[in-house]
Amino acid sequence: MKGTDMKGKRVAVLLGGMSSERDVSLRTGAAVAGALRGAGHDVVELDVGTDVARRLAEEKVEVAFIALHGRYGEDGCIQGLLESLAIPYTGSGVLASALAMDKVAAKRMLEAAGIPTPRWCAFDTAAEALAREGTLGLELPVVVKPSREGSSVGVHVCKGWEAYREAVREAATHAGQLLVEAFVAGREVQGAVLDGEALGVIEVVPGREFYDFQAKYGANSGTRYLFPAPLPEAQYHRVNAVCLAAHRALGCSGATRSDVILTPTGEVYLLEVNTLPGMTATSLLPKISEGRGISFTALCERLLAGASLKA
């Protein structure tokens, strides 16, 4: 099913879900559903819970637009269910979703592909991470984050060991291993890929010290977005190339958005790849797409047109 074939299909926008990013997903899903309805699609919004398979059957869903974020939606779980039900869906498949969502697994894949990423170490428990205090092989400051959360949930920049201890304990309450990463100072930019093409680079100028959850989604955060990112041409192309290489290395489909740091000396470091980029009023993929002349509705329809089974 491609392009105009989708106009006659029953489309479920899967939103909400059971992760810590539920609220952001509700906003993403509402925006997508509104755009697709306005374009003439037959849309039902499904708040994803443990009864999702039954509800998909009851609603006679023929194609799924995944507007979920975080665990169970971005990590291959819902993708596996949709594969089993033979319902085509947007975005990446089971394996790519699982790899990108697990920051430790993604780090290994990025390194194997020769894609520059900050030095790191991982721990199974908070006790292990605390026992390595002062002997990480990484200089302060460091970034502590849970390996299987998104939207900067549980992410802390630690300038001292007391902050490190607090961050480790808090991050351990979230899913996955603990990832401790070298903090790389520099400009924060994001690169998007759509249907195998590098779409462009946007610079994020946080209104806070760090581009955290509040800076991303908080009202009056002061965060500014510059598109196209005001970079030298060669560096702009380098960021595009690194984001596209990461998209390919993880086997992604549809759209991805990658977090990148540019150092003052011009080095490019890829932090992580997001396989289900946000589609809220402050989200970066729509900002990049709009800057390329692709309206929000056109972006939603293009993503829907790419829905498929990947297994």
The answer on pLDDT for 286 being more than 90 is yes
Using the 8-state DSSP alphabet, how is residue 139 labeled? P
| CB atoms inside a 10 Å sphere around CB 241 | 14
Tell me which residue of 293, 257, 275, 280 sits closest to 32, measured CA to CA.
Answer: 280
The answer on pLDDT for 74 being more than 80 is yes
94: tokens are: 């089971």
The answer on pLDDT for 192 being more than 90 is yes
| The predicted structure's pLDDT at residue 1 | 46
| The predicted structure's pLDDT at residue 230 | 97
Q: Report the pLDDT averaged over residues 21-36.
A: 96
Domain covering 3-91 assigned CATH 3.40.50.20 in the classification? yes
Assigned CATH class of 120-182 = alpha beta
Rounded Cα–Cα distance for residues 32 and 283 (Å): 12
**pLDDT-derived band at 2, boundaries 50, 70, 90:** very low
Sheet of strand 63-66, all strands in order from the earlier edge strand to the far edge: 42-47, 10-15, 63-66
Assigned CATH class of 99-116+185-299 = alpha beta
308 pairs with which residues across the strands?
89
Give the start-to-end residue ranges of the domains of the chain.
3-91, 99-116+185-299, 120-182
The answer to whether 285 and 255 are in contact (CB under 8 A) is yes
Give residue-wise pLDDT tens across range 75-130: 999 999 999 999 999 999 999 999 999 999 999 999 999 999 999 999 999 999 99
| The predicted structure's pLDDT at residue 152 | 73
98-107, 153-162, 268-277: least confident range: 153-162
Angle subtended at Cα 65 by Cα 61 and Cα 68, rounded to the nearest 5 degrees: 120
Q: Report the pLDDT averaged over residues 220-228.
A: 83
More confident site: 31 or 222 = 31
The answer to whether 205 and 223 are in contact (CB under 8 A) is yes
For the annotated catalytic residues, the residue numbers are: 21, 151, 217, 257, 259, 272, 274, 278
Same fold, 3-91 and 99-116+185-299: no
The answer on pLDDT for 51 being more than 90 is yes
Q: Report the pLDDT averaged over residues 209-238.
A: 76
Percent of the chain with pLDDT over 90: 85
